Structure 1
């Protein structure tokens, strides 16, 4: 049975009038109040107590806990109490920050809302899927997520993916003619579509049976607890890094104990306290909290750039992107197709003025019956709606179909009168695989078939053409020259045809789709987004390759790509048939064809996956943008899937890692920039914390080698971590962009957190701080100062080091004096607050006693500031050398350049 025959056979013989018109707005509102919103309850976020307890599940915390027990065992009650107090404070801060991140993620999820098309009051409207109510008449199309359980009234080639409900991987064909029993298995209920499933092919219309928790998936949701979210690779690598650091600390403690035994002269209690102090000093307790903050800030900043993160991994992954395979329509262009020219067989052309949905504008030239027939075919082989409502024109449906309705209005045709005169008997909806749509319409003198689609498809179906002299055999070569010329100007070409003399046909045999008469073609224009050209250029400057992948004609794709400056005007365009021809040659032949290209036209859905796989083999970290069902496989295959939030289908959004709320290519580039900023900040935090820990490690080993008493007590070391890094590391996560992030090569996707530049920074800064601190401490001891007095000054020096180092860590190459503090007010407050906190503790009775600190003289202040300035000077010199080594801003090489 053909598509027409199936459409007629599945049509209910006598649908109730209220089903045809849907619910009234008043009745819909009443049912919404009665049944509630159509949604499932979200998993409850962990409570405050659970978040608090979770902060203790960390190897650093385990080591600190052991240190507290050890301190208590050797009689150091103040040290044990202080360690426990710091643990509790750290857990409290971490719980507050994680709770804030949960709220941020929940707020961003609210921006990703599903939609459904329903008929209310006789008019199809698009509403939030949460507003669907029982009794609503829902229209389904390819790519839609089924919003509720519904019983079909119509089904035209409808196939639905129910794998999320039944586990069946193949799409299920649906039909409205039969009625399944309520007790039938879900997989055998072919007249029902279930909430959460997705339409893979065809069209349908159904009445809602159940919403929310009353749906089949709602029943499952009731039986399940809260879902556990999987962790992104970044957090997994950080956890591995954490365990590696913890292991290194254990080795260092063992080495220190062995060294103390070799040196001799240390009592067991002193050795225990030295080991406790080493553990406390080298643990970067603030790392997990700082990372949580950095990622949450990245999500918020990307949201401000119109990029909504669905999966946290995208915060890291987007910044690693080296290649973008971008859809054209709606991403690089504005997605507002307008018919700009109509061309009839023989070459007669009509220019059309006006743009967008509003029918303002006119068709220039003498209006002929042939032009009218062209417009009628476009208006009837059509699934969209155009109406005047609320003082403006409102459209619903595919943009190509809407453009034909606007064109008909510009010719003065009444859409309602036209549909009344030629009542639809059956419809073949447009699908990308068939490349055309058609309508079988009954009029007074019999049935007429109207069709529109790609010029190649229409020419294959036509044997005649309509000219001023009448119907004559088709001149395929002449018509091909016409649409090649139009496509070369950047137009999208749609051809139209009809077949008359079908008598009183109620359905058509397959052969009726041939033997048609070619009516002409229209040239549509979808202009580039104003910012698209600059965004593509910016991406290429940052070493990010850009390719345009489209189903349009090669000449159209070439014209758009040339306007974008992706290629020259005569640059190569790889087509779907070319990829098909290269497939027998294997991956080598495909790579030789695909990898040098930047424009792909007439591409089929499976070929998009082939293109992505080829660029992956070239070593790229690939992002794919898309809005339709046919884009979902390529988005899943890519490293990062980017869906359109406004015009995209539910299937595309489900397959994506992130969503563009404005469907704009420039927003991807802004998101990549923010992703790079987030990762840079994570590296800065890691370098800050590890450098401080390394300096303490060096201080302890040098002290033991010199046979000196413990340089800082365990309590002092905990206090040092609190005031030297406790606020500053989190404040670094708020660091804004330095500038030039998009002028540098992308980082390698497999690059570790602790890479060469971070290692150099840690060794340099940690060594300088450790040596200067040891030099001060040893000089004080050897000059006769009591250990308590030497520790007091050494601790103050380490606090000064921590604050200056935090300021210097804002950039790996830029001078601290070239970065205004006002750009990061959090750090501007954290540094003086930490310093004042330590100074204030010197004057607080009780606290000063526990910390064993006391006020220092002006002369001592001057000496300490001079030593601290040495660190700043060394880091400034290192940055100058780094800038000289890097030379001008790194540009992408030929292999990375787009």
Structure 2
């Protein structure tokens, strides 16, 4: 079914706003809910089809594309040619199992990625039945009227009906790097290219500045972005830095092992060993010793971490961000909505003559009564607060209230209701003639109104006190308007700020013509008073900051609030103490002008930044990075995008954040809560530890096999294990225990240890010592056992049977040694990871079954062992526990 609403030759950019609205049978009040529902059935959801999942068969075939797999395939072919069908069958079985496991994991990862995409839903403000509501962009239909503002992602193709300073970044569609100025009143030539259609907005582009009202003309695949998506190839994701480091490490290890295997093969050739035996053994040893399953294991660890983070309200957009988040040393966090609940309440009104009024703290009006003192200034101020306002507040049929728009404006409307004023009634009395929208650079908003009956105009202004003072000549007092006393106004603001309030000033005055209503002409106004708005702290924020302090993470709060407000909140959170002083944007600018040294000295230990512009947030991040810190940044606004992009880890707010911020970030918070950032750091540290555990387990067991073969070759003994036995050992090692280690829970001390140095390699001295000791002990004991058995008259096949069982036991013991680098195996909760326990028992059980299976006895060359042998081999394997415990004690003593 068609999804574009155009059935005419004239394109949308060649129609006037009225013609476009008429064509789509829309109006100023938008569509009705009933009509919107009918059109949704007709046109379908406003979505692009998700990329098709790669079929399981293709994923299965892809697992065979690997140099190591080619080696195994060559070995299988050689075995078939030589008539060793059992060996060939076993190699083939291993290849099939490896491909099946890899395909299943990739398939699951693809499904998880799609599930995460469904969590990231774009919300948009739409006019329906004359009311502004917020809906999912998927439910937009042609004919809907959408309100756009700075930071929004355009959800569909649209014809602008109104525009006010609207600039749109269309680089995603046209490649133009600069935002495009939009004008709803101009008509474009029918043949104008997309980049020149200045009265249209396109799906997927970003509103860089200004506001607008637009008519949806096309949705889904019939948008320009939808048409483009049908011709685009899905780009291959770049390999994350963590995986690149792992890949480099694996390549170096592979080269070293291949050299060792080549030397061993040369020695065996000199001893006239059967070439087929040498070839099969070299292939098996290479596959066993080289951790070819490491990339898959890493993906599994990070996937597990991703799912754990989702449960803790953290969505990871890039897998590698899990490890990065766990490594951060500094968090530069927003205040509003992150440390606080982002539910502003207008609690106090302060006037310049030292009179203040405290209002009911409830978020929604409970009564429409004037304060008992009857101060008419409250009504006058509330009138300005309700008229100079872009939020919506209306009752629902169930008795609840629906509010939408800016949080500050919502709080002001609630305040106006509490003193008996509604925006709708006031606008009927004072219709709006012109408006100056709030922008960060301005620091205020203003509206111009004319009296509905009779003559007279009214200017309403709200904003930061320092922005309004130059506009005002008078101030409202209990005895009427008097000449402005700047000191009294600043004193009133200081009293509110010291209580941790967000302070907003209000002014009114008489206006002139609408065409002269510009910021430069706002003069001669009367300062009415100040409103203190309070945003309650999130109850878990203080505990989360304490966790960061214990984890060695420096937290700094970056806000645009007044310094006293910021410091009050920081002290309440125990983020700052009485000796701390907030650094302001002015001080930052002064230090930046003096040079990098002065700036770094200022930001090194600062915990509170106030009156900081979004551009200066980027300055702070870059200064901290220059000092060698690993920085995580939280943000929600369009102007936070540079800081989010430049930080090592950008964390965007999933609820209140703009689409620009979300797309610039590596991590999204579904609850906009600082405690979730800390939870993400903890999960990131757990994931990194699990990566190291998997690496240690794979490398140490592979090193033991290499030591075993080197010693056997040096002493001129038969090969201790056959090629098929080594392949079997590899299968038992990689396919079961890795999963258990990837699911290993946290050790409980992740947030009590300092951050990992960002430059620290995965294979650090701690792991090197543990691998060397493990490899030498396991390989040496296995060789000693093999040597002893042969010296006491055992047949080579029987001795190999015992050595194979011993190596399986070693691996099952080593997997428990791998659970912690710093804690004794006896201090690990034994049943905290049932998957690891069951996997280890399953690995051992499978090998026991093979000992009694006639088919596997023939393939592997194994046979049942006596209880005495079991006991002796288990005792030898447990010596590995003793070796690792001694190493742990020695390391602690040495430190």
Per the normalisation by structure 1, the TM-score is: 0.94
Q: Judging changes above 3 Å, is the alpha-carbon distance between structure 1 residues 78 and 339 closer, same or farther for their aligned structure 2 residues?
A: same
| Structure 1 residues without counterparts, runs of 5 or longer | 1-9, 887-898
Give aligned pairs, total.
Answer: 875
Selected match of 2:298 from 284, 291, 296: 291
Kindly indicate whether residue 150 of structure 2 is the aligned counterpart of residue 139 of structure 1.
Answer: no
Q: How does 1:719-758 map to 2 (within 5 A)?
A: 719-758=728-767
Q: Which residue in the other structure is 1:890 paired with?
A: none
With over 3 angstroms needed to count, the CA separation of the structure-2 counterparts of 1:13 and 1:289, relative to structure 1, is closer
Q: In the TM superposition, what is the alpha-carbon distance from 1:516 to its structure 2 partner? A: 1.5
| Counterpart residue number, 1:870 | 879
Per-residue deviation, 1:721? 1.3
State the partner residue of 2:555: 546
Give the Å deviation of 1:11: 10
Distance of 2:282 and 2:216 partners within structure 1? 69
- Per-residue deviation, 1:785: 1.2
- Are residues 1:368 and 2:375 paired? yes
Where in structure 2 are the equivalents of 1:396-545 lying within 5 Å? 396-443=404-451, 444-500=454-510, 502=511, 505=514, 507-545=516-554
Secondary structure at 1:23's aligned position in 2?
A: coil
Please state whether the residue corresponding to 1:727 is helix, strand or coil.
helix
SS at match of 1:19: coil
Greater CA deviation, 269-278 or 87-96?
A: 269-278
Structure 1 equivalent of residue 847 of structure 2: 838
Q: Which range is displaced more, 865-874 or 605-614? A: 865-874
Shift of 1:472: 2.2
Q: How big is each residue's C-alpha offset from its partner over 1:345-400, in whole Å with a ceiling of 9 and x where there is no partner?
A: 31221111223245569764412222211111111111001000132011010111
Distance 2:829 2:190 in 1: 69
Task: Identify if the C-alpha distance between structure 1 residues 427 and 885 changes in structure 2 by more than 3 Å, giving closer, same or farther.
Answer: farther
Q: Kindly report which structure 2 residues correspond to 1:317-396, keeping only aligned pairs within 5 A, or say none.
A: 317-359=324-366, 364-389=371-396, 390-396=398-404
Q: Over aligned residues, Cα RMSD in angstroms?
A: 2.0
Q: 2:602 aligns with which of 593, 605, 609?
A: 593
Distance 1:13 1:48 in 2: 51
Structure 2 CA distance for aligned equivalents of residues 99 and 273 of structure 1 = 33
After superposing the two structures, state which structure 1 stretch, 349-358 or 538-547, moved more: 349-358
Cα deviation, residue 250, structure 1: 1.5
- 2:368–2:419 Cα contact (<8 Å) kept: no
User: 2:772 aligns to what?
Assistant: 763
Cα displacement string for residues 161-202 of structure 1 (whole angstroms, at most 9, x for unaligned residues): 111111111111111111223421112111111111111111
Q: Deviations over 1:807-844 (max 9, x none)?
A: 22111222323323321111111111111111111111
Distance between the aligned counterparts of 1:310 and 1:804, measured in 2? 37
Contact 2:264 2:710 in 1 (8 A): yes
- Of 633-642 and 877-886, deviating more is 877-886
Q: Distance in 2 between matches of 1:381 and 1:657?
A: 37
Which of 614, 623, 638 is the matching residue for 1:629?
638
Tell me the alpha carbon deviations over residues 410-441 of structure 1, each in whole angstroms, 9 at most, x when there is no partner.
Answer: 00113211111111111111111111111111
Shift of 1:806: 0.9
Structure 1 residue 673 displacement after superposition: 0.3
The aligned counterpart of 2:312 is: 305
Q: Is 1:715 equivalent to 2:699 in the alignment?
A: no
What CA distance in whole angstroms lies between the structure 2 residues aligned with 1:283 and 1:62? Answer: 14
Change (3 A) 1:119 1:885: farther
**Contact 1:59-1:246 within 8 A present in 2 as well:** no
Higher relative contact order (CA 8 A, sep 6+): 1
Matched-pair contact (CA < 8 Å) for 1:344–1:371: no
1:854 match: 863
CA distance in 2, matches of 1:200, 1:357: 33
Query: What's 1:184 paired with?
Result: 192
Distance 2:20 2:178 in 1: 32
Cα distance in 2 for partners of 1:98, 1:881 equals 42
1 CA distance for matches of 2:506 and 2:266? 88
Q: CA deviation at 1:141?
A: 0.9
**CA positional deviation for 1:724:** 3.5
Per-residue CA distance 1:422-470 (angstroms, 9 max, x = gap): 1111111111111111111111332211010001101122122122333
- Corresponding residue number in structure 2 for 1:558: 567
Q: Distance in 1 between matches of 2:347 and 2:252?
A: 64
Q: 1:299, CA displacement in angstroms?
A: 0.3
Candidates 824, 849, 853, aligned match of 2:833 = 824
- Distance change >3 Å, CA 849–CA 302, structure 1 → 2: same
Task: Provide the C-alpha distance between the structure 2 equivalents of 1:570 and 1:421, rounded to a whole number of angstroms.
Answer: 52
Seen in structure 2, the aligned counterparts of structure 1 residues 674 and 722 have a Cα distance that, compared at 3 Å, is same
1:208 aligns with 2:216: yes
Q: How does 1:604-643 map to 2 (within 5 A)?
A: 604-643=613-652
Return the offset for 1:557: 0.7
For the 8 Å contact 2:434–2:517, the answer to whether it is kept is: no
Task: Verify the 8 A CA contact 2:365 2:418 in the aligned structure 1.
Answer: no
Displacement of 1:101 after TM fit?
A: 1.3
1:873-888 correspondence to structure 2 within 5 Å: 873-884=882-893
Equivalent position to 1:578, from 579, 587, 598: 587
Cα distance between partner residues in 1 of 2:866 and 2:106? 42
Gaps of 5+ in 2: 1-15
1:27 corresponds to:
35
Residue pair 1:354, 1:362 contacting (<8 A) in 2 also: no
Is 1:96 paired with 2:99?
A: no
For residue 79 of structure 1, the aligned residue among 87, 91, 97 is 87
**Equivalent pair of 1:358/1:393 in contact (CA under 8 Å):** no
Cα-to-partner distance string for 1:232-284 (whole Å, 9 max, x where unaligned): 2222222222322222221111121234356x353434433442342233132
Q: What is the distance in 1 between the residues matched to 2:769 and 2:60?
A: 36
> In the aligned structure 2, how far is the partner of 1:356 from the partner of 1:380?
19
SS of aligned partner of 1:20: coil
> What is the SS of the residue equivalent to 1:822?
coil
Aligned to 2:8: none
Larger mean Cα displacement after TM superposition, 230-239 or 344-353:
230-239
What displacement does 1:655 show? Answer: 0.8
Quick check: 1:105 aligned with 2:135? no
CA shift, 1:507, in A, is: 4.3
| 1:685–1:360 CA distance, 2 compared to 1 (3 A) | farther
Q: Distance in 1 between matches of 2:383 and 2:284?
A: 86
After TM superposition, list the pairs within 5 Å mapping 1:4-43 onto structure 2. Answer: 18-43=26-51
Partners of 1:765 and 1:134 lie apart in 2 by: 67
Q: CA deviation at 1:49?
A: 2.0
Which residue pairs with 2:61 in the alignment?
53
Tell me, yes or no, if structure 1 residue 199 matches structure 2 residue 199: no
Q: Which of 249, 271, 295 is the matching residue for 1:241?
A: 249
Q: 1:831, 1:683 → 2: CA distance? A: 19
How far, CA to CA, are the matches of 2:19 and 2:864 in structure 1? 94
In the other structure, the counterpart of 1:790 is 799
| Equivalence for 1:892 | none
Is residue 156–residue 202 contact of structure 1 (8 Å, CA) maintained in 2? yes
Cα 1:277–1:189 shift into 2, 3 Å? closer
